[in-house]
Amino acid sequence: MAVDIEDLLSRMSWEQKLGQLQIVWRKDPAEQRALVKGGLGAVFWPPSAAATNELQRIAVEETELGIPLLIALDVVHGQFTIFPTPLAQAASFDPEVARSDARASAEEARAAGVNWTFSPMVDVTRDPRWGRVVEGFGEDVFLASGLAAAKVAGYQGSGLAEETTVASCLKHFVAYGAAEAGRDYNTTDISERRLRETYLETFRVGVEQGAASVMAAFNSLNGRPMHANRRLLTGVLKEEWGFDGLVVGDADGVAQLVDHGVAADEREAIRLAIEAGVDVVMGGTLLVDAEGTPLLSPGELSQERVDDAVRRVLRLKERLGLFDRPFVDESREATAATAERRATARGAAERCIVLLKNDPGRGRERLPLPPRGRILLAGPYARSLDHLGAWVQRFATPVAAGLADALAAELPGVDWDVAEGADFFDPSEEAVAEAVERAREADLVVLAVGEPSRISGEASSRSDIALPGAQSRLIQAVAATGVPVVVVLVTGRPLVVEDWIDRVDSVLCTWHLGLEAPAAIAAALSGRVNPGGRVPMTFPRAVGQIPIYHDHERTGRPPQLDGMVLPDEQAEFAGPNNTFDYYTSKFIDLPLGPRFDFGHGLSYTTFELSDLTVSPDRLREQDDGAGTAEVSVTVRNTGTVDGDDVVLLFVTDAVASVAQPVRRLRGYRRVALPAGGSARLSFTLAVDDLCFWADGTHRITEPGEFSITVSDGASTVSHPLFLA
Ligand code: GLC
Domain ranges of the chain: 29-324, 339-526, 607-723
Is 622 a residue whose pLDDT tops 80?
A: no
User: What three-state secondary structure class fits 533?
Assistant: coil
For 61-95, how does the pLDDT look when each residue is reduced to its tens digit (9 = 90+)? 999 999 999 999 999 999 999 999 999 999 999 99
Architecture field, domain 339-526: 3-Layer(aba) Sandwich (3.40)
Q: Whose CA is nearest to atom 7 of ligand 1?
A: 251
- Residue 282 Cα, ligand 1 centroid: separation in angstroms? 9
Q: Whose CA is nearest to atom 11 of ligand 1?
A: 251
Neighbours of 574 (CB within 10 A): 18
List the beta bridge partners of residue 636: 608, 678
- Residue 60 Cα, ligand 1 centroid: separation in angstroms? 27
Least confident among 266-275, 331-340, 361-370: 361-370
The pLDDT, as a whole number, for residue 421 is: 81
Least confident among 330-344, 504-518, 577-591: 577-591
CA distances from 701 to 551, 664, 690, 698 (A): 18, 14, 6, 10
Is 625 a residue whose pLDDT tops 60?
A: no
Architecture field, domain 29-324: Alpha-Beta Barrel (3.20)
- Residue 162 Cα, ligand 1 centroid: separation in angstroms? 26
The pLDDT, as a whole number, for residue 564 is: 47
From CA 173, how far away is CA 148, in angstroms rounded? 13
Place 576 in a pLDDT band, splitting at 50, 70 and 90.
low
CATH code at 607-723: 2.60.40.10
Question: Which is the closest atom of ligand 1 to the Cα of 169?
Answer: 10
Least confident among 127-141, 465-479, 562-576: 562-576
- Residue 251 Cα, ligand 1 centroid: separation in angstroms? 6
CA distances from 361 to 357, 365, 504, 600, 705 (A): 11, 8, 10, 19, 41
For 205-249, how does the pLDDT look when each residue is reduced to its tens digit (9 = 90+)? 999 999 999 999 999 999 999 999 999 999 999 999 999 999 999
What are the residues whose beta carbons fall under 8 Å from the beta carbon of 150, sequence distance 6 or more? 95, 96, 98, 99, 102
Place 27 in a pLDDT band, splitting at 50, 70 and 90.
confident
- Residue 670 Cα, ligand 1 centroid: separation in angstroms? 32
- Residue 95 Cα, ligand 1 centroid: separation in angstroms? 24
Residue range 372-384: average pLDDT? 98
Chain centre distance of CA 287? 33
- Residue 562 Cα, ligand 1 centroid: separation in angstroms? 48
Q: Whose CA is nearest to atom 8 of ligand 1?
A: 250
Q: Mutation test of ligand 1: which of 70, 118, 122 has the most ligand atoms closer than 8 Å to its C-beta?
A: 118
Q: Is the peptide bond before 616 cis (omega within 30 degrees of 0)?
A: yes
The pLDDT, as a whole number, for residue 563 is: 44
What are the residues whose beta carbons fall under 8 Å from the beta carbon of 236, sequence distance 6 or more? 200
From CA 84, how far away is CA 3, in angstroms rounded? 39
Is 607-723 in the same CATH topology as 29-324?
Answer: no
Q: Mutation test of ligand 1: which of 27, 44, 74 has the most ligand atoms closer than 8 Å to its C-beta?
A: 74
Q: Whose CA is nearest to atom 10 of ligand 1?
A: 118
The pLDDT, as a whole number, for residue 172 is: 98
Residue range 449-453: average pLDDT? 97
Q: Which of 74, 94, 101, 250 is catalytic?
A: 250
Question: Which is the closest atom of ligand 1 to the Cα of 118?
Answer: 10
Neighbours of 463 (CB within 10 A): 9
Question: Which is the closest atom of ligand 1 to the Cα of 135?
Answer: 9
Residue range 501-520: average pLDDT? 98
The pLDDT, as a whole number, for residue 592 is: 87
Query: Mean pLDDT for the chain?
Result: 94
For 314-362, how does the pLDDT look when each residue is reduced to its tens digit (9 = 90+)? 999 999 999 999 999 999 998 899 999 999 999 999 999 999 999 887 7
Q: Mutation test of ligand 1: which of 24, 43, 132, 250 has the most ligand atoms closer than 8 Å to its C-beta?
A: 250
For 182-199, how does the pLDDT look when each residue is reduced to its tens digit (9 = 90+)? 999 999 999 999 999 999
- The yes-or-no answer on residue 464 being catalytic is no
152 or 621: whose pLDDT is higher? 152
The set of protein residues with a Cβ atom below 6 angstroms from ligand 1 is 74, 118, 171, 250-251, 458
